[in-house]
Structure 1
Amino acid sequence: MKILRSILTISKLLALLVMLLYQTVPAQELMQVEGAISVGDSGALIPEAGTIRWNGKDFEGFNGFFWVPLSRISLGSVTDREGNEYKTLVIGNREWMVENLRATVYNDSTIIANIEDTLAWGLLGDPAYCWYANDRVTYEFPYGALYNWYAVDGGDLCPSGWWVPDASDFDDLIQAAMAYGNTGDARAALQTTGSIDDGTGLWPDHIDGTNKTGWSGQPAGRRRDDGVFEGINVTGNFWSSVELGASTAEHRFLSSGNFALTATSTNKKRGSGIRCVRLTAP
């Protein structure tokens, strides 16, 4: 009887996947198979974590923040000093956080200043962070915190054994993304899927993210060096650890077109997101 039940369960799973493949299951229907798989409303603004959908090319699962291709290797995780947990994924020759950093202290528990005042941010030359629009409740998940480069240089922001990426780390990531086509395809492969316009994602409708790498780049916006916030749901901004001058450092951004983590020289006062990285095991 146990063998028969197992065969029936497997048959149900295969039938469910076939129905998903041909999109015969209504998006609003909730189905459960022996408690193993839940298929929820994939058209909801914020689907239930664990919801599965077929995007026409691949199955995707919603992890509570964004859609991740299910054909990727399973995600790992790492925890920072405060107990914040981040999903990770091996891409190319590195293991990357696939979420933006949310740490508010260094690894030695030194507190990083949370600067909300616009004028104070523009005058600051010390480590600082903020939440977009000074609204942690709205923007901590899934966008993470925004840091000036002085915070990058001021201590160990990333969990032990991890670091803020340098040019070689980003170059390795871009090379892995280029496996999916030209520069535009690589850019799309680094971005989360869906559209803010129809409630299925975070990017504008004209940005066709595929997230084929699983890196899940989000448009978390930025805080300019004069303290003004801009770019939420339009651009993704990420610090590199590379210092370029007395007041500038290397900065990477994602947008539309061919901007696949393009390197720019940016004022250290800029508030941008951070992704931590480490080498994969030999």
Structure 2
Amino acid sequence: MNNTLLGQVTIGSDKLAASGALLQLKEFDTTDAQSDGLSNTTKGLGMPRVELKALDGDLGLSMGVQGGSLDKTTHIGLTVYHVGDLCSPIAAGIYVWSGDNWQYLGGTVPRRDRASFNEASGILTDFEGNQYTTKVFGTKRWMTQNLRAIRKPDGTCIDPVDGVRFNPAKNATVMPLAQIKVLGVMPSGNVTYTENGIVKTMTNEAFVSIFGLFYTWNQAMVACPKGWHVASVQDWADLTTTLGVTDLGAKLRGNVGATYKTTDSGVGYKWGSADPAVTISGFNILPAGWVREDGLNAVAFSTSAYLWTSAPAGGYRYLSFSGSTLSSFGSGNLNFRFSVRCVQD
């Protein structure tokens, strides 16, 4: 049975206790104008600070020591503070050993694997709980939305150093790194763009749920949910065969006939054909643009979509507002950041 532990005590200060502290003592010299709230006493009662490697199994191994060195039964009730960082698959916080596993008591939001696939509805859910619509084209099931995962199928960050990116409806604009870097969590903020003459303002998270995130080729190769893979050259070839080459670009596009405009451009681009005779496939590519290799320069929102393939040379597929075909390139800069569509294994 899990219990929630929220209480921490600090004596001598109204400031929050350090993470994992049960009792923290602080003393302030109120006569010293230079103290500025700094404490000269930081001792108190704290928990052992460890880095848990697993939540169950061998107790010793779960704590990063020799396997079999710690008895499961005699250590029931052992309570520790796990110091996992943002990209750790186990959320930082307080854990107690139950005899079979580490139970979470409090700290940060616990991380759990929410990945699943609902065959009846076609809804794919990744580790973080992001949901994607899917559809069968020919003999293969595709995601019909761009990937927006920040974590790998094992729960670790896709790139704990560089992060992934998103294009906040801007073109040829160098932006602060914090505005477009996504590392473990989505940065706060809003995005504004125009669609069919209507100005739309939404949170970064809501925007990304529509247009997806952008990945280098190496990031893309580890980003798809378990049981799915980055579309291969053959996958795209089979899709083209299934849909036919006539007006392929229009068939692949989402919101056909919608006019998009970025926040820093006075030009609006109609995304695809408005011809009612064109059969729309439901593949739903949107003009998300891409991000250059420096990770700071977002380009081509409202005009183009770029999607990786799993080709070792970094091959990718490209669709612009002006053309009706899906262009193919056999090589590219692996550090460009493009959209990703996954196919079921």
Residue aligning to 1:6? none
> How many residue pairs were aligned?
182
Kept in 2, the 8 Å contact 1:192–1:211? The answer is no
| C-alpha displacement of 1:97 | 0.4
Show the counterpart of 2:319: 254
- Compared with structure 1, are the counterparts of its residues 204 and 211 closer, same or farther at alpha carbon in structure 2 (3 Å cutoff)? farther
Q: Is structure 2 residue 144 aligned with structure 1 residue 98? A: yes
Alignment of 1:133-282 (within 5 A): 133=168, 134=180, 136-137=204-205, 139-153=207-221, 155=222, 157-178=223-244, 182=246, 185-197=247-259, 204-205=269-270, 207-208=272-273, 212-226=280-294, 227-244=296-313, 249-255=314-320, 256-278=322-344
For structure 1, the residue ranges without an aligned partner over 5 or more in a row are: 1-73, 115-125
Which has the higher relative contact order, 1 or 2, with Cα contacts under 8 A spaced 6 or more apart?
1
Task: Report the CA distance between 1:207 and its aligned residue.
Answer: 2.7
Structure having the higher Rg: 2
Deviation, 1:273, is 0.6
Task: Indicate yes or no: 2:130 matched with 1:84.
Answer: yes
Moved over 4 A (4+): none
Q: 1:103 to 1:219 in 2, by over 3 A?
A: same
Deviations 1:132-158 (CA, angstroms, capped at 9, x unpaired): 1426246303101011112023x3x21
Q: Does the CA contact (< 8 Å) of 1:187 and 1:261 recur in 2?
A: no
1:142 counterpart SS class? helix
Q: 8 Å contact 1:91–1:176 — kept in the other structure?
A: yes
TM-score computed with the length of structure 1 as normaliser: 0.58
Secondary structure at 1:254 match in 2: strand
Contact 2:271 / 2:287 at 8 angstroms: preserved in 1? no
Q: What runs of 5+ residues in structure 2 fail to find an aligned partner?
A: 1-119, 169-179, 181-190, 192-203, 262-267
RMSD: 2.5
Q: In the aligned structure 2, how far is the partner of 1:211 from the partner of 1:191?
A: 11
Q: Provide the identity percentage.
A: 28
Measured in 2, the distance between the counterparts of 1:149 and 1:169 equals 17
After the TM superposition, which residues 16-165 of structure 1 pair with which residues of structure 2 at under 5 Å, given as runs?
Answer: 76-113=122-159, 128-133=163-168, 134=180, 136-137=204-205, 139-153=207-221, 155=222, 157-165=223-231
The TM-score, its normalising length taken from structure 2, stands at: 0.48
Q: Tell me which protein shows more helix as a share of its residues.
A: 1
Whether the aligned pair in 1 keeps the contact of 2:308 and 2:317 (CA below 8 Å) is yes
Amino acid at match of 1:177: L
Measure, in 2, the Cα distance between the counterparts of 1:223 and 1:88: 25
CA drift of 1:205 comes to 2.0
